[in-house]
A and B are shown apart, each in its own frame.
Chain A
Amino acid sequence: MPKDNGIGASPKRREDVRFLSGTGNYTDDIQVNGQAYVHFLRSDIAHANINGINLDAASAMPGVIKIFTGADFEGVGGIPCGWQVTDRHGEPMQEPAHPVLAQGKVRYVGDQIAAVVAETLEQARDAAEAIEVDLEELPAVVDMKAALADGATKVHDDLTSNLCYDWGFVEENKPAVDAAFEAAAHVTTLELRNNRLVANPMEPRVAIGDFNRATGESTLYTTSQNPHVIRLLMGAFVLGIPEHKLRVVAPDVGGGFGTKIFHYAEEAFCTFAAKALNRAVKWTSTRSEAFISDAHGRDHVTKIELALDADNNFTALRTDTYANMGAYLSTFAPSVPTWLHGTLMAGNYKTPLIYVNVKAVFTNTVPVDAYRGAGRPEATFQLERVVDKAARELGVDPIALRRQNFITEFPYATPVAVEYDTGDYHGTMDALEKMADLSGFEARRKASEAKGKLRGFGVNCYIEACGIAPSNLVGQLGARAGLYESATVRVNATGGLVVMTGSHSHGQGHETSFPQVIAEMIGIDESMVEIVHGDTANTPMGMGTYGSRSLAVGGSAMVRATEKIIAKAKKIAAHLMEAAEADIELKDGAFSVAGTDKSVAWGDVTLAAYVPHNYPLEDIEPGLEETAFYDPANFTYPSGAYACEVEVDPDTGKVTIEAFNAADDFGNIVNPMIVDGQVHGGIGQGIGQALLENAAYDENGQLLSASYMDYAMPRASDVPFYGVDHSSQTPCTHNPLGVKGCGEAGAIGSPPAVINAVVDALRSGGHDIHHIDMPVSPSRVWQAMNG
């Protein structure tokens, strides 16, 4: 019988009750007494000198409190970058200043020129229209390769060029990799683009700055995945507010997908202005604003080459990638195309030699940073596409070619600096083959052909590194932060527990899954456990949620804290039962003495801790509250095999997804329903990237797809019912739960399966096509078919 409590059960998500009944408390729901509103005047030109700003007319408009420009931020820090990459030559990356409001120049459509604070939002907007800005348009830098050409216009005049860094990984391997290509029996080459995406969380970003004159404390309410990180970055680097005078609250957050990790100028502005004006200042992004101010994702242009020997063993891999940074460095931007991308290029394969080159480039576009998967989808896409192409060129079965090259022994040290602890790639592929009904494919293809459609089957594997990450390792790699997680477990006198976690839930379901772990450990009902997160005032310093790290790292911290609780509770129980501590057992919410029928209930022990009348006060303190910080020993390495079946309408080029199956190995699973949901959502986003989504700029740096009229989001009708299998489980060897993280897998694993299937379909129709860039929109497919 399936469990109905604890690890392995699938209770419905308790937080959904408030989300679905409209009683959530999102940042925009917060009204601070006397709050004023800010509207940002944003540049509609991609690159220009600001020759003058005349505020006279605007400042006199009704309701205007104050209009801020870059001049008001002289002497204030800039938006910091949280990761420094060192280039091939040992030099640090080029790091431009990133002012809160533009100073002297605007560098992308959306860059903030001025901020109008007024009594009402409409008054702020009215006044913004009356600001006279003298912009002298400069040539826009949009194309990455053109940006690196000699004599290209510079996005930042004080940098030597538009090159942020030229990264080689592993640089020492390069000669050996090149030699392996010389010696190869076969080389497969593929050039592709990983399309730029806009994350589009359902809730746009919001920031409210508040200042308490009595205490001198600033508060920022913000739509963030990691309030402590924002407190540290904004307090220490931008505004100079010590952490004990700064509180950051990220209440219910309506989706993040990475784009709410970063510290944004609007947050710093609202906090700064609240103090300057002694008024709370609120900003709510419109959807149009989100398109040009939320950090975008992906945007890589890559050439990948795979070398094989005469027996089809992979002998070497070489990649050459241009990664768009946009106009400024967003918080974690430099890490995405490097450490979150290069380290994954081995994939599931024992390719012995790998060299990755990445040139990060500044352009006059919105900054680009982590988006669900962050670097790993880019790595997986190119690798799994080139393996597929190699299989076709060699005339071998794409699954067999993959299986032949699978890593089978663990732990496995890749040539790209990471060590996979566990995995079973044949296991997930076996599960996938079963689900995908390979033997029935030819019949399904015939049926499609009878309707005039082309049918294709695409498969791919993925590996990802998540549960980020060991602090000492990421420190060596350039991170300017630690990546541990924290939890305080507070047991109340009557036995209920509150967990204050540094992880942040913005759709992941922590309020449901975290209690399952504690319920399992103590043997109590989940309803006795409450999760508190999202407020620096009442949670321990934590690093927040991204990189599929919450259960693997935050959950582990909670386990460690709970272990301390149990250890102390056993001491109390031993005292109450006059037994030796070593003989105490905890089971089903009761402590017993081994080999006897003596027992005390969980609630008796917790009550004793707070009403310590009969209590070993000479040995232990009263109370039952423990904190733990957990720093993982390694990344976790979920893996899987995905398959997609498509139909292509040869008359119109329209692709429809007929089936999608996913076999993942996430190690141990706490809540199977939540894990399924995470995979479903991730695949939906991956299908969105593969078929629909495209943040496209014209040559002047205007975003062509700046609204839902032109930016195509996936809808329910675009995706099939998914087949999902998690039966293949190789638990993580280094965290106490044996869990691996499941939040990004779907988005990482699905785009190559879709494109492999589309190519397969087109080739079955006699079209000699090896690749179509994402999104494979109807027009692109038709274009490819009609040369």
Chain B
Amino acid sequence: MYNFDFEKPSTIADAVSALSAEDAQALGGGQTLLPTMKQRLASPSKLVSLKGIAEMQGICTGDDGALCIGGATTHADVAAGAGAYPGLAALAGGIGDPAVRARGTIGGSLANNDPSACYPAGALASGATFVTNAREIAADDYFQGMFTTALDEGEILTEVRFPVPEASNYQKFEQPASRFALVGVFVAKYADGVRVAVTGASEEGVFRWTEAEAALSGNFSANAIADMTPGEDGMISDLHGTAAYRAHLVGVLTRRAVTAAG
């Protein structure tokens, strides 16, 4: 690890100004950033911890009924406190291990946008709204490929608003070593249609499986997508599974998620 400065502001405004320094970087739970720094693969000049900002902590219900989660809320707090959205609470409860969940944050996970991470599937399938210090971004505009998002340099994800679906479920098939998602599928059924988001599978990062969404919006049952699989083009192929295997898993897990959502 290289040397760096450290700040822990208590307001979003102070955090934004601290982050304006060259090569400054936000620090959530550090569960991704710190290992990267230890391996000397990242060398921020300054870390700005978001954990001291009270307004970025916790879960509440918005006027429109959406579940609003502060950007610095830990996975453990979401697992325990997002009872209004059981599918999302279960997703958070399945991330990593207790130590990771006690430190890692929703903002850190979504800002990082690891192609195998869980939250991106939950947020995209929910059509969540990403609230930053500067603006609001729709989920469909937010995810822009592996490790890439609509966030600008120094922009802080302060809150994520999840419309609560009628039914939902997340199916995570673990990569045997990392226990991240080899493939993860989040299915959310809303009054105006079904959204299906897939993580772990595509070289473009999390994506919506629109073909399945269309079929499920007409008939929310596994049978509606019985033999359906997305094409294997653009799917990840690595030590843990070929593109064809991942494409196959997308179909299997989507059917399981629909069945489990009920």
From A651, which residue of chain B is reached at the shortest CB distance? B252
A interface footprint on B177-201 (CB within 8 Å = 1, 0 otherwise): 1100010000000000000000000
Choice from A129, A651, A709 contacting B178 with Cβ under 8 Å: A709
Within 8 A of B (CB), among A765-787: 775, 777-779, 782-783, 786
B177 touches A710 (CB 8 A): yes
B39 touches A652 (CB 8 A): no
Given contacts A696-B239, A704-B239, contact A778 B39 (CB under 8 A): no
B interface footprint on A343-374 (CB within 8 Å = 1, 0 otherwise): 00000000000000000000000000000000
The yes or no answer to B83 lying at the interface (CB within 8 A) is no
Q: Tell me, rounded to whole Å, the shortest Cβ–Cβ distance linking B88 to chain A.
A: 23
From A288, which residue of chain B is reached at the shortest CB distance? B39
The yes or no answer to B248 lying at the interface (CB within 8 A) is yes
B245 touches A782 (CB 8 A): yes
Q: A205 to B255: give the CA distance in the assembly, Å.
A: 47
Q: Tell me, rounded to whole Å, the shortest Cβ–Cβ distance linking A396 to chain B.
A: 35
A692 touches B176 (CB 8 A): yes
Q: A705 to B177: give the CA distance in the assembly, Å.
A: 9
Q: Which residues of A contact B178 (CB under 8 A)?
A: 708-710
From B183, which residue of chain A is reached at the shortest CB distance? A652
Given contacts A652-B252, A694-B239, A696-B239, contact A779 B177 (CB under 8 A): no
B241 touches A778 (CB 8 A): yes
The yes or no answer to A125 lying at the interface (CB within 8 A) is yes
Within 8 A of A (CB), among B232-253: 238-242, 245, 248-249, 252
Q: A691 to B1: give the CA distance in the assembly, Å.
A: 35
Given contacts A696-B239, A704-B239, contact A778 B176 (CB under 8 A): yes
Q: A288 to B41: give the CA distance in the assembly, Å.
A: 13
Q: How many positions in chain B have a CB within 8 Å of any CB in the partner chain?
A: 17
The yes or no answer to B40 lying at the interface (CB within 8 A) is yes
B240 touches A779 (CB 8 A): yes
The yes or no answer to A712 lying at the interface (CB within 8 A) is yes
Q: Which residues of A contact B242 (CB under 8 A)?
A: 779, 783
Q: Which residues of B contact A786 (CB under 8 A)?
A: 248
B interface footprint on A692-715 (CB within 8 Å = 1, 0 otherwise): 101010000000110011111100
Q: Tell me, rounded to whole Å, the shortest Cβ–Cβ distance linking A706 to chain B.
A: 11
Q: Tell me, rounded to whole Å, the shortest Cβ–Cβ distance linking B209 to chain A.
A: 17
Q: Which residues of B contact A777 (CB under 8 A)?
A: 176, 240-241
Q: Tell me, rounded to whole Å, the shortest Cβ–Cβ distance linking A520 to chain B.
A: 44
Given contacts A705-B177, A709-B177, contact A125 B40 (CB under 8 A): yes
Q: Which residues of A contact B249 (CB under 8 A)?
A: 652
Q: Tell me, rounded to whole Å, the shortest Cβ–Cβ distance linking A196 to chain B.
A: 13
Choice from B1, B40, B239 contacting A705 with Cβ under 8 Å: B239
Q: A696 to B249: give the CA distance in the assembly, Å.
A: 23
Q: Which residues of B contact A129 (CB under 8 A)?
A: 40
Q: Which residues of A contact B176 (CB under 8 A)?
A: 691-692, 712, 775, 777-778
Q: A710 to B178: give the CA distance in the assembly, Å.
A: 6
| Centre residue among A125, A696, A782 by max chain B CB count within 10 A | A782
Q: A709 to B241: give the CA distance in the assembly, Å.
A: 14
Q: Tell me, rounded to whole Å, the shortest Cβ–Cβ distance linking B89 to chain A.
A: 21
Q: A711 to B239: give the CA distance in the assembly, Å.
A: 10
Within 8 A of A (CB), among B205-262: 238-242, 245, 248-249, 252
Q: A710 to B239: give the CA distance in the assembly, Å.
A: 8
Pairs across A and B, CB under 8 Å, 18 listed: A652-B173, A652-B252, A653-B245, A691-B176, A692-B177, A696-B239, A708-B177, A709-B177, A711-B177, A712-B177, A775-B176, A777-B241, A778-B245, A779-B240, A779-B245, A782-B248, A783-B242, A783-B245
